[in-house]
Amino acid sequence: MIRLALATLVALSLGHPAQAQTRSITDSAGRVVELPEQVGSVLAAGPPAAILLYVMAPDRMLGWPRANRADEREFLAQPHADLPELGTLTGQGGEANLERVVALQPDLILDFGSLRDTYVDLANRVQAQTGIPYLLIDGRFENTPAALRLLGEALGVPERGEALAQDAEATFARIDALLAEVPEAERPRAYLARGPEGLESGVVGSINTEILERAGGVNVLGRSDTARGLVQVNFEALLAADPDVIVTWDRQFHETHRDSPLWSRMRAVQEGRVHLSPVLPFGWIDRPPSLNRIIGLDWMAAVFYPERHGIDLRARTRDFYRLWYHLDLTEDQLDRLLP
C-alpha cells in the first residue's frame, strides 16, 4: 500500500514546481495528461514500466523498482544498470513512499500494464496528490508498437519510438507468417511452468502466458470462468492434459524436474521437451511481462517450430540487445544466453 497520509501529500504537492509550458497527451486509458514541454526525468511505477523506460530513454530514468543483481547488470548498459532502487507504486507489494517520490521531483510517473479501474484510480489519485503527471500505457503484448510510439511522443523522442515499434511489428509479422502455414491441429499443446515446483501458470488470456499463445502454442490450461491470471495447478490434472512442450524460466525447476517422482511421469519430461528460457537481464517470456517478451517471442517460436522458424536466433539476439537494450553482446554473453 502507498504509505503516506493524504494531508501530508497535499502539502508536499504544493512544493512540486509548476511547469511554465505544458502540452497535452492522451494516454492509453483515455486520460488527458498535461506534460512539461521537455520531460527530463521519469519515475517508473513498476518493473514493466521500468523496462519500457530503459528501452526508450535510459537517460531519463531516476532508478529501478528493484536494484539489479550483478548478473543482470552485466547485460545492461552503464551507468543505467547501477541506478538506485526506488520501490514500486503498482503491483503486489507496492511500497514506494510518496514523500520520497515527491522529493525526487520527476517530471513524469510512468506505468505500463493493466488499464483496470484499480490502476486508473491509482494514477488519478497520485497525480492529484503530488502534482506530478502520471501516464498509463496499455501493456498488452499486441499493443507493443502503439505503446512504443506513445511513449516516444511523450518523451520527445518519436524517432526512437518508431524504430522500436517497427522492429516489434516485424517480429509479429514474422511469427504470423510462420503460423499461417501451421494448421491449428498441428500446433503444440504447451504449458508454462512457473516457480521452483513448476505448478504456477496462467490460463488463456493471462498476461503471463500470452506470449506462449502468441508464438503458436495451445495453452493446455485453457480458459477459466473464475480465474483471469496466475493459478495454482493441480499436477494430476496437468498430467491428464499431457502437454507436448513445457517451457520455464525457473532454473531450479529445470534442474530438478527430471528427478521428481511427479514430473518424471510427464511425457514431455520423458521425451526431453522441457525448455529453459534465458532470463538476463530480464526474463524472455515473463518476469516481468514487458518488452523483454519481444525477443522471447522468437525464442519460443523456435522451440515450438524448430524446422519452420528459419531465423538465426543468435544473430537476432545480438541485434535485439543492441537496438533495445543499448548493449553489444560479447560472444561469451551470447553463449550464456543461448547455450
Q: Are 330 and 242 in contact (CB under 8 A)?
A: no
Q: What is the mean pLDDT of the chain?
A: 92
Binned at pLDDT 50, 70 and 90, residue 12 comes out as very low
Helices (H), 136-280: 144-155, 158-179, 210-214, 235-241, 251-256, 267-270
- Higher-pLDDT residue of 210 and 133 is 133
Please write the tens of the pLDDT for every residue from 246-278: 999 999 999 999 999 999 999 999 999 999 999
Considering only CA atoms, which of 189, 180, 248, 185 is closest in space to residue 218? 189
> Contact at 8 Å (CB) between 61 and 44?
yes
Backbone CA torsion sign across 308, 309, 315, 319: positive
Asked whether the beta carbons of 68 and 85 are under 8 A apart, the reply is: no
Q: Which fold has domain 6-154?
A: Rossmann fold (3.40.50)
pLDDT at residue 10 greater than cutoff 70: no
Q: Does domain 183-337 have CATH number 3.40.50.1980?
A: yes
Residues above pLDDT 90, as percent of the chain: 83
Please give the pLDDT value at position 332.
Answer: 98
Residues 282/290, Cβ–Cβ less than 8 Å: yes
d(CA 227, CA 172): 27
Please say whether the beta carbons of 203 and 223 come within 8 A. Answer: yes
**Whether the Cβ atoms of residue 49 and residue 123 lie closer than 8 Å to each other:** no
Same fold? 6-154, 183-337: yes
Sheet holding 189-193, edge to edge: 218-219, 189-193, 245-248, 274-276
Domain definitions of the chain by residue range: 6-154, 183-337
Alpha carbons 168 and 151: distance in angstroms, whole number: 15
Query: What average pLDDT does the segment 228-236 reach?
Result: 90
SS3 category, 116: coil
Name the one residue in this structure whose C-alpha cell is 522451440: 303
